[in-house]
Amino acid sequence: MATGGGSQGPEFEVHVLGHPKGGPEGHEGQLGACPFSHRVLLLLEERELPYTVDFVDVARKPDWVTETNPEGTLPILRDCASGQLLHDSDAISDFLEDKYGGGDGKRSLRKLGDCPQPAPQLWPKFLAYLGAEAGSQEEAAARRELEEQLQASPALLP
């Protein structure tokens, strides 16, 4: 496990997608390509909170991951003081904001519900468009739906 944040003992354990020791040669102890894991680590660093990080290989997840989180998703944060486990980067972000937001002279990073969420269907519509067969009616319909999402959120357009 790697450590980060402050210099005192860890306040949190964070389990993120990565390459643990004994993983692929040249990649041991590296963070994986997971924006949700990156987000949680960035929040902990921004708050200068002491934590340990455990890199979890998604192909060889320990049983406890799915036992504590039936979806088996990462990241997972454990509050060392209470033992509370949190799954999902949104829930973790809101928990950290509730516990530390704006305290100790640090600026508030805001809870997810307080942040504008333009076009919540934009990503699914984009993926549908990408997945449609080129030149098909499905592609034309997916393109129209994607354009509607973009038009509904002028802040996303130049």
Q: Which of 34, 74, 77, 92 is catalytic?
A: 34
24 pLDDT higher than 60? no
Give the pLDDT of residue 40. 93
pLDDT in tens, 38-92: 999 999 998 889 999 999 988 888 999 999 888 888 999 999 999 999 999 989 9
Location of each CATH 3.40.30.10 domain in the chain: 2-113
Give the pLDDT of residue 1. 47
Count other Cβ atoms within 10 Å, centred on residue 89.
23
* Catalytic-residue membership of 115: no
80: Cα within 13 Å, side-chain hemisphere: 13
Domain 2-113 has CATH 3.40.30.10: yes
- pLDDT grade for 156, boundaries at 50, 70 and 90: low
Q: From its phi and psi, is residue 39 left (phi > 0), alpha (psi between -120 and 50) or beta?
A: alpha
- Taking alpha carbons only, the member of 44, 4, 1 closest to residue 21 is 1
